[in-house]
Amino acid sequence: MMNLTPADPDARERVDRARVLTNVMLENPDAGPNYVLLMILAEQLQHLHDIFEAAERHRIQDARLPL
């Protein structure tokens, strides 16, 4: 049976998605900004922000813990 649960992509995958979306928008400058693509890009960038913020919190917390 197929697993239809969407996978949560890692930071590298999200960066790649954001890069592809940006390139698509840049390749079609005559059409003007595509609102849907901009919303998807904004969502991907927010997820990246959250991933990096969580990693920073873990790094700070690990630095505070004595070994």
The 3-state DSSP class for residue 66 equals: coil
Q: How far is CA 53 from CA 15, 47, 58, 63, in A?
A: 15, 10, 9, 15
- d(C-alpha 63, C-alpha 15), whole Å: 27
pLDDT digits (tens, 9 = 90+) for 7-62: 777 878 888 888 888 888 778 777 666 777 788 888 888 888 888 899 899 988 88
